[in-house]
Structure 1
Amino acid sequence: MHIHPKITPIYQTSVFKFEDLNELELYFGEPGSRYLYSRNGNPNSDELAEAVNRLEGGAGAVATGSGMAAIFAAVLTYCVAGDHVLCAADIYGGSAALLNQELERLGIGVTYVPFEDLTANLAPYARPRTRLLLCETISNPLLRVVDLQAAAAAAHALGVKLVVDNTFASPVLTNPLAFGADLVMHSVTKYLAGHSDVTAGAVVARTPEDAARLKQIGTLFGLTLSPMESWLAVRGLKTLRLRMNAHCYNAQAVAELLTQHPAVAEVFYPGLPTHAQHHLASEQGAGRFGGMVSFRLADDSVEAVNRFMRGSQRFPFAPSLAGVDSSSSYPAGTSHRALSEEQRQQLGITAGLVRLSVGIEPVAELLTDIEQALGATSSGNGG
């Protein structure tokens, strides 16, 4: 009986059987022809890697156990002890912690580059053994947009690779490889899987050589994603385009409401004409600007943030992002907690900064909820 499932089954197995030693030799002689052990490869994790690779237009990809594992694999693709990394100052706090606490311990140095110097003035930050520049398409949490083509040109002029975290944009909005990036990575946990029920990552390479190196790193460091998580992420990917359209539409409406509310001092969203990189974001995102919105309360205090969070019903405080359900986060106390107060102030991450992950719910419900939550903030009652 021949079974032809439309959906790939879950290969919930750690090991695969061989008929005899001849078949074992075929495994080593014809890479990719069959499976041996799920850390080395599994149909489900391979399906996810191939799907993300196709979306990003790469030469090969690996699926990893988390977004952090993806960043780790990306850095190790190019770096050994004694090498040096340039990193955008506007970066996810976990990425900075990995570079500062673990990779520096392994002999890989890091220098942080202010946003304004990423493209026009990169050379003074480089060293003889600088290997890569790491940045985000849309930065976390202030949603600055990097000119990827200019960043790639600046990096390549120094003989440095460009690694881009494309998590906030997703491949639906932007494909960094098309702008000159060498590696692009995602926290698949976020928009790619999309339902807040998977922890995963992925890295996509521009060249087959880098793709092979990623595969080796994933296997030997044991970064491989499990079959079940891979299967769930692939299922999520099938609605990515529909979800991103809804995220972008709702986020635009939320951002426009926030700009007009007296309880809000400042709004960060690339879709607003007042955003410093609005035109660039429109070009790189094909006229769409993502589902993340950050804002600073006029009462720039922890107490005001608490009142907003207690007052909101549709944006629960859940320190992650990109699920179909909306949520809020507090960068100073979560993603950027490891930074010093001085570092946070320099980046503009103040006590009253709130980050919203705008979901795909009916937009009127979200706007009504924000109105009443901000009313609780400005009136000073707990809502």
Structure 2
Amino acid sequence: MHIHPKITPIYQTSVFKFEDLNELELYFGEPGSRYLYSRNGNPNSDELAEAVNRLEGGVGAVATGSGMAAIFAALLAFCQAGDHVLCAADIYGGSSSLLNQELSRMGITVTYVPFEELYALDRFVQPTTRLLLCETMSNPLLRVADLRRLADGCHGLGLKLVVDNTFASPIITRPLALGADVVLHSVTKYISGHSDVTAGVTVAADAAVAARLKQVGVLYGLTLSPMESWLAVRGLKTLHLRMPAHSHNALAIAKFLQQQPAVRAVYYPGLPDHPQHVLAQEQGGGLFGGMMSILLADDATVVNRFMQRSQRFPFAPSLAGVDSSLSYPLGTSHRYLTPEQQAELGITVGLVRLSVGIEPVEELLADLAQALA
């Protein structure tokens, strides 16, 4: 009986069978010709990696168990003990914690570069500096990096550019096409898109780097499970429909929130008064994504009241699902920065991050209106 499924089945197996020693030798002689053990590769995780690789225009990718694992793989692809990395000061708190608490123990040091100085890296570079890690749109203040300019600056100094493209997704920006060396995603967010998967993907522009990513993934055991891979691929199929919907809703909400007396500031690249609005428009093809931050009064009581009253934006410290949610950077993603670092980045008591979903926008506007009233 021949079975021809339209959708890749879930290969929920840890290991694959071999006929004999000849088949075993074929496995090692022709990499990618067959499967041995799911940590080394599984049809489902390979399908996800290849799908994101295609979207980002890479030459190879690895699917990982989380976005953090994707960041770890990207850094280890280029770094060893004694090396130094540059990191944009505006970065996801998990990225800075990984660098500060764990990679420092492996002898990899870091210097944080303020956003205003990203295009003048020479004063931060050391003989052992290997790369710059940054985000297309920063978390949580949505500052937009000029990736082509950054790539040129990095390459002129002999550095690699590693870009976390989670907030933008490849629908809005493709960093490799702008000169980046590696692009990574928390697949948990927009790529999967339904708040039911934890996963990551790291994509390389160069075949040798792609091979190194694969090695790091296998030997550190960063591999993604078949079930999570299958769900992520399922979610990915609607990414090109979801991103315009997220962007449309977010722009309407950002404009509305600018008019509300209780809102002191709105950080959203789609607003004409955003400092990088023109760049975001060019780099994103007219889409600005579903993420924004707003500044309420720097008073926990006010923030609590807003969170308690809102029905359509539950406080759920992640982002990018089809359903809207809100998060609180000071208490979650950026909790472990020093008070000085938090103040420098503008992460204060009143800062709330909104992840705008794809629900009917009038329902979201009505909810925000009553929550702020």
Aligned residue for 2:118, secondary structure, equals: helix
**Which amino acid letter does the alignment assign opposite residue 200 of structure 1?**
A
Equivalent runs, 1:161-180 vs 2, <5 Å = 161-180=160-179
Aligned residue for 2:323, secondary structure, equals: coil
State how far apart, in whole Å, the 2-side matches of 1:276 and 1:105 are: 37
Equivalent runs, 1:96-135 vs 2, <5 Å = 96-119=96-119, 121-135=120-134
State how far apart, in whole Å, the 2-side matches of 1:94 and 1:260 are: 33
State how far apart, in whole Å, the 1-side matches of 2:103 and 2:300 are: 33
State how far apart, in whole Å, the 2-side matches of 1:116 and 1:366 are: 34
Deviations 1:119-156 (A, max 9, x none): 1x111011000000000000000000000011111111
Deviations 1:316-361 (A, max 9, x none): 0000000000000000000000011111010000100000000000
RMSD: 0.4
Equivalent residue number for residue 380 of structure 1: none
State how far apart, in whole Å, the 2-side matches of 1:104 and 1:123 are: 22
**Which amino acid letter does the alignment assign opposite residue 174 of structure 2?**
N
**Which amino acid letter does the alignment assign opposite residue 328 of structure 1?**
L
Equivalent residue number for residue 312 of structure 1: 310
**Which amino acid letter does the alignment assign opposite residue 261 of structure 2?**
P
Equivalent residue number for residue 282 of structure 1: 281
Using the TM superposition, give the Cα deviation of residue 96 of structure 1 relative to its aligned residue in structure 2, in angstroms. 0.3
1:293 corresponds to 2:277: no
State how far apart, in whole Å, the 2-side matches of 1:270 and 1:112 are: 23
The alignment's TM-score, normalised by the length of structure 2, stands at: 1.00
State how far apart, in whole Å, the 2-side matches of 1:97 and 1:77 are: 19
1:29 corresponds to 2:29: yes
Aligned partner of 2:346 among 348, 359, 363: 348
1:59 corresponds to 2:81: no
The list of structure 1 runs, each at least 4 consecutive aligned residues, that deviate by more than 3 angstroms after superposition, is none
Using the TM superposition, give the Cα deviation of residue 281 of structure 1 relative to its aligned residue in structure 2, in angstroms. 0.2
**Which amino acid letter does the alignment assign opposite residue 319 of structure 1?**
P
Aligned residue for 1:116, secondary structure, equals: helix
Equivalent runs, 1:37-52 vs 2, <5 Å = 37-52=37-52
Using the TM superposition, give the Cα deviation of residue 100 of structure 1 relative to its aligned residue in structure 2, in angstroms. 0.3
State how far apart, in whole Å, the 2-side matches of 1:152 and 1:129 are: 18
1:219 corresponds to 2:197: no
Equivalent residue number for residue 366 of structure 1: 364
Deviations 1:187-207 (A, max 9, x none): 000000000000000000001
Using the TM superposition, give the Cα deviation of residue 245 of structure 1 relative to its aligned residue in structure 2, in angstroms. 1.1
Equivalent runs, 1:213-252 vs 2, <5 Å = 213-252=212-251
State how far apart, in whole Å, the 2-side matches of 1:252 and 1:168 are: 15
Equivalent residue number for residue 197 of structure 2: 198
Equivalent residue number for residue 77 of structure 1: 77
Alignment size in residue pairs: 373
Equivalent residue number for residue 253 of structure 2: 254
Equivalent residue number for residue 145 of structure 1: 144
Using the TM superposition, give the Cα deviation of residue 293 of structure 1 relative to its aligned residue in structure 2, in angstroms. 1.1
State how far apart, in whole Å, the 2-side matches of 1:60 and 1:250 are: 33
State how far apart, in whole Å, the 1-side matches of 2:16 and 2:87 are: 41
State how far apart, in whole Å, the 2-side matches of 1:305 and 1:54 are: 42
Aligned residue for 1:104, secondary structure, equals: helix
Using the TM superposition, give the Cα deviation of residue 11 of structure 1 relative to its aligned residue in structure 2, in angstroms. 0.1
Equivalent residue number for residue 326 of structure 1: 324
What 5-or-longer segments of structure 2 have no aligned partner?
Answer: none
State how far apart, in whole Å, the 2-side matches of 1:294 and 1:372 are: 18
Aligned residue for 1:105, secondary structure, equals: helix
The alignment's TM-score, normalised by the length of structure 1, stands at: 0.97
Aligned residue for 2:264, secondary structure, equals: strand
The sequence identity of aligned pairs, in percent, is: 76
Deviations 1:68-121 (A, max 9, x none): 0000000000000000000000000000000000001110000000001111x1
**Which amino acid letter does the alignment assign opposite residue 73 of structure 1?**
A
**Which amino acid letter does the alignment assign opposite residue 56 of structure 2?**
E
